[in-house]
Amino acid sequence: MEQSFPILWVEGEISNYTLHSSGHRYFSLKDENAQIRCVLFRWEGKKLVFEPQDGMKVFALGSITVYEKSGQYQLNVIRLHPVGIGELELAFQQLKEKLYNEGLFDEAHKKPIPEYPEIIGVVTSPTGAAIRDIIKIIHRRAPGVKIILYPVRVQSEGAAEEISQAIKDFNEYKKADLLIVGRGGGSLEDLWAFNEEIVARAIYNSKIPIISAVGHEVDFTIADFVADLRAPTPSAAAELAVKNRAEVIKEVKNLFKTLITTQRFVIDDYKSRIVLARESYGFKKVIDLIVQRAQRTDELLKSLLKELKNYFEFKKKSLSLVLGKLNALSPLAVLERGFSLTRKLPGMEIVKDVETLQLKDRVEVIFFKGKIEAEVKKIDE
């Protein structure tokens, strides 16, 4: 029956969300009319860029399966996306509107890109794919152009400050005819340094023309709107920065077509193999067994923790009863009610009868708190 259900998208509100210690996530998706149980296994959850919460509206992509032990249908989620605008997106829109109103995006302020730059400054990470792509393309298209790399962090705390300082330093020392500022693709969080106001103002105040090259074609940042020219990728920025010879362009196109044809052939071949393997019964059965055992393990662990908790609670109550009885039988309990204990010195014999005492005998009297040493002054039998 599971094979008859297609992979589908479900929109709803998260409820009863649980992140298990195993890394698996269990929750329900609901609307005003219905709900369905969902499970997001650990290996799929590693792809999340946010942590789901109760009340969050999401789109979930998954397949319908049945958990055999309880006989309950559930959605095995493989992708999860929030519905509506997120916090970073909201901050992006607010800063965009602010800078637009101040005129930082005006076309009149944008500087022309030099047709034949001799020195190009690049502000990016020294270890990322972006700088490798830029160097490769510029050297291929225009081998005589010099490249100066100003290495900076392109994400995480402090990245925006380093990027803005690099732009200021290039302007101060005037060692470049053109700047390329950017990095490779990533999530909105990864690209956030290029959405910071400090970077936008550094680009706006630059006397050197700047090409922004952040992310992939679909990615837009505040830096793209302020820059003199926006390139969809770092590679495209390198192509926009320098001109190429006609014969090189022709050769590149031929090589590109050959590469695409070869890769398509290889990809199609592997795709066919994957489809055959995925549709085989043996492959599906192994995955099904792993999924069933993983969910059963979570249930057994939960049951074990519950039994351990009950056991220790029982032992705690038993110990409290024993301690209560010991306290009731303790001599200290008698002393606490106001009685005292008298011992004859120096032998420390307990005095039970005054006949054992004589005048001027020394005695020790023990109270609940403290003790005294006394001398017998009078005996009353």
With a CB cutoff of 8 Å and minimum separation 6, the contacts of 35 are 12, 15, 28, 29
The phi and psi torsions of 191 (rounded to 5 degrees) equal -90, 5
Range(s) of the chain covered by CATH 2.40.50.140: 2-82
| Among the ranges given (274-283, 312-321, 368-377), the one the predictor scored with the smallest mean pLDDT | 274-283
pLDDT tens digits along 131-161: 999 999 999 888 889 999 999 999 988 999 9
Domain over 102-244 is classified CATH 3.40.50.261: yes
Render pLDDT for 324-367 as a digit per residue (tens, 0 to 9): 788 777 777 777 777 877 888 888 888 778 888 888 889 888 88
Q: Is the pLDDT of residue 58 over 70?
A: yes
Q: Where are the beta strands (DSSP E) in 315-355?
A: 341-344, 349-350
Question: Residues 31-48: pLDDT tens digits?
Answer: 888 999 999 999 998 887
pLDDT per residue over 183-241, tens digit each?
A: 988 887 888 899 999 999 999 999 999 999 998 777 789 999 999 999 999 999 999 99
Structural tokens at position 308: 């351990």
Residue predicted with more confidence, 1 or 300: 300
Say if residue 283's pLDDT is above 80. Answer: no
CATH number among 3.40.1160.10, 3.40.225.10, 2.40.50.140, 3.40.50.800, domain 2-82: 2.40.50.140
> Is residue 13 over pLDDT 80?
yes
**Closest residue by Cα to residue 298 from 306, 286, 287:** 306
Confidence tier at 86 by pLDDT (50, 70, 90): low
Q: How many CB atoms lie within 10 A of CB 372?
A: 10
Of 45, 49, 44, 48, the residue nearest 190 (C-alpha): 49
166, containing H or E segment: helix 159-173
The 10s digit of each residue's pLDDT in 295-333 is 889 999 999 999 999 999 999 988 988 887 887 777 777
**CA 209 to CA 180: how far, in whole Å?**
9
Task: Give percent above pLDDT 70 in the chain.
Answer: 96
pLDDT of residue 85: 57
Confidence class for position 248, pLDDT limits 50, 70, 90: low
Comparing 44-53, 101-110, 261-270, the range with the smallest average pLDDT is: 44-53
Q: How many CA atoms lie within 13 A of 376 on its CB side?
A: 18
**Percentage of the residues of the chain whose pLDDT score is greater than 90:** 48
Task: Delimit the CATH 3.40.50.261 region(s) of the chain.
Answer: 102-244
Whether omega before 346 lies within 30 degrees of 0, making that bond cis, reads: yes
At 225 the pLDDT is 95
Query: What CA–CA distance (Å, rounded) separates 341 from 305?
Result: 50
Band (pLDDT 50/70/90 cuts) for residue 87 is: low
Strand pairing class (341-344; 349-350)? antiparallel
